Amino acid sequence: MGSREVLGQAARLASSGLLLQVLFRLITFVLNAFILRFLSKEIVGIVNVSVPLGMFWALLLGWVWLQLLEVPDPQAVPHYGSGVVAFCLSAVVELLGEPFWVLAQAQMFVKLKVIAESLSVILKSVLTAFLVLWVPHWGLYIFSLAQLLYTAVLVLCYVIYFTKLLGSSESTKQQTLPVSRMTDLLPNITRNRAFVNWKEAKLTWSFFKQSLLKQILTEGERYVMTFLNVLNFGDQGVYDIVNNLGSLVARLIFQPIEESFYIFFAKVLERGKDATLQKQEDMVVVAAVLESLLKLALLTGLTITTFGFAYSQLALDIYGGVMLSSGSGPVLLRSYCLYVLLLAINGVTECFTFAAMSKEEVDRYNFTMLALSSSFLALSYLLTQWCGSVGFILANCFNMGIRITQSLCFIHRYYRKSPYRPLVGLRLSLALLGAFALSGGITAISEAWLCCDQGWPARLAHVAVGALCLGMTVGTVLLTETKLIHFVRTQLGVSRLADKTS
């Protein structure tokens, strides 16, 4: 399969994944906004920091949470012990679906992944809303049952799909799978009577170390706030809500694109070889795609940062009421808007970097990640002591900035001896920079005059000002970024999705 065919397939998967994510996330967004009106921030804070990693870790960390860490007041947060046990069990159940998830990801079954996860999240939100209304005194039982339903539905979706697929010998998809029956996904003895394929085990261990370090870099602030008690449960609850709301765009837009185009880069590029040693007809396509993705990530992130600063308080007030729109909530979301910009750029740069690196380069990168993980955890603690929960987001910005710098250096070295310069995707015209600056200034003045305690007419006027500024910014993009617009229309457009679903 040529590079352009792989690009078309990856683009179609990104488009379908993007639209399905938007549809299902919109439903859960409304349900979660409804649920928040009936919950205390202390219960939300408890639920979002109990994350075991496996059966052994479930037992170990369950004991830690119940015996060593602070146990909340049973009157404020009832059924805490049962909740910890239920979340440990749900993590073990979810691990059962991991082989199916990996297989679906490797075979580009993106629609299966999106539908399974979205259906699970919707059912979880519906059950949570129902229990909150009818039995609010159940406390953590509500979230525990909802989490168990989520993991059960998620695993069942994958099991049912692959059972049906592997049972159909006439299916074209079944003929391309590396397994022929369900038992192939279980541990088995290899041809040379070895229980472990050591070559694959070493590669798996390399990626496991990388994933573990990325987990610390991604979720490290949760461990800090949990084990060091730098925030009370109420502040943790507000932080988690704002974090989930702020990362909504990352999950809706960035994640489907990153996952699909990582597969594209991995299939087209030969690991460990720079641009001069690759097939040059493929490199033309790869460089153009990387440049367009960088530009798309930069513009999307800048738009969120520019308009997010002026509309954070209004968004939180609509989403969660006074509990979120007062206190630290708006400052947290404004800070997160800046983090989203860095998150967008890092997603694209790392997606290319990890697809092009050799095993040795991945191992060296892991050592760098180890040092970065330690400094990130220390910085999270120090900044939180200095400026509260905003310190976590600032530490994440520092972490993401370092990771972006590493990836940019790799990409620069990769293309240094070639005629291709995909990093120009991070450059913007003066006209576009002026449009973003003007929009940011106008919307900031509008927020000061019209939002958010002067009633709904003033709020709607503030929204109208933002819509006009957004229209001006989008118009400037259409006039100045014609190359990007062509890429979006041809590779991520609706026509591609129509080809996929027809």
What pLDDT was estimated at residue 51? 36
What pLDDT was estimated at residue 245? 78
User: Which range (6-10, 327-331, 415-419) has the least confidence?
Assistant: 6-10
What is the residue extent of each domain of the chain? Answer: 3-185, 230-427
Mean pLDDT of the residues in the chain: 78
Q: Which of 354, 246, 234 is nearest to 304 (CA)?
A: 246
Q: How confident is the model at residue 193 (pLDDT cuts 50, 70, 90)?
A: low
d(CA 81, CA 144): 11
More confident residue, 233 or 423: 423
Share of the chain above pLDDT 70, in %: 76
d(CA 345, CA 405): 10
d(CA 382, CA 313): 27
pLDDT tens column, 316-338: 888 777 777 777 888 889 999 99
Q: How confident is the model at residue 57 (pLDDT cuts 50, 70, 90)?
A: low
**Which residues have C-beta within 8 Å of that of residue 363, sequence separation ≥ 6?**
206, 209
What phi, psi does 2 have (nearest 5°)?
-75, 170
Above 70 in pLDDT, residue 150?
A: yes
What pLDDT was estimated at residue 269? 84
d(CA 308, CA 322): 18
Angle at the Cα of 259 (from 243 to 268), degrees rounded to 5? 155
Above 80 in pLDDT, residue 457?
A: yes
